[in-house]
């Protein structure tokens, strides 16, 4: 697996963990919790699709408590990271056949699905930041460069 995807999913888990910790420190923010839960749910769906599973029964907007959302995004992120680590360069070019939530069948290269999962997470973490800021609280900084700098310091 190219290092870019390995690093990308390490970053994804780091950013999710930062938001999990921050949301636990704040008063209840239902929309932010919903977005965090959605991040975990969509990782579950995409991983299932990559593994050839029927993901039709999986909800993409579950009604989770904050603890459930944290558990969902943590578990799904770990599973996705394990999947990525087990793939080869050849696997990236392979098409994954799946049905979307409307029942339409697609054949999409694994690399495109992985990139989608990474950018989807970044997008929704930005939305979480907006909700936190609108509620009068400071968001956490989850830009990739912050992750990169932290990793460099740890060495």
The pLDDT tens digits for 76-126 are 999 999 999 999 989 999 999 999 988 899 999 999 999 999 999 999 999
Whichever domain contains 9, its CATH number is: 1.20.120.450
pLDDT classification of 56: cutoffs 50, 70, 90: confident
Domain enclosing residue 142, as ranges? 3-148
Summarised one tens digit per residue, pLDDT across range 22-37 is 999 999 999 999 999 9
Q: What H or E segment, with its residue span, contains residue 117?
A: helix 110-134
Q: pLDDT tens for residues 63-73?
A: 999 999 999 99
The pLDDT value recorded for residue 101 is: 86
Give the pLDDT of residue 155: 65
Query: Is residue 155 in some structural domain?
Result: no
Domain count, the chain: 1
Cβ-contact 97, 107 below 8 angstroms: yes
């Amino acid at each position: 697996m190219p290092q870019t995807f390995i690093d990308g999913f390490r970053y994804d888990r780091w950013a999710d963990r930062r938001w999990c910790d921050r949301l636990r420190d704040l008063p209840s923010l239902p929309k932010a919790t919903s977005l965090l839960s959605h991040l975990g749910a969509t990782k579950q769906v995409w991983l299932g699709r990559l593994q050839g599973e029927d993901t039709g029964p999986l909800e993409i907007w579950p009604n989770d408590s904050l603890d459930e959302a944290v558990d969902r995004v943590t578990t799904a992120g770990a599973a996705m990271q394990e999947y990525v680590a087990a793939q080869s360069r050849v696997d990236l070019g392979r098409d994954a056949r799946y049905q979307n939530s409307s029942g339409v069948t697609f054949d999409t290269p694994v690399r495109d699905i992985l990139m989608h999962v990474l950018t989807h997470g970044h997008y929704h973490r930005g939305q979480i930041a907006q909700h936190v800021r609108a509620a009068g609280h400071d968001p956490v900084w989850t830009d990739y460069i912050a992750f990169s700098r932290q990793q460099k310091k740890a060495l």
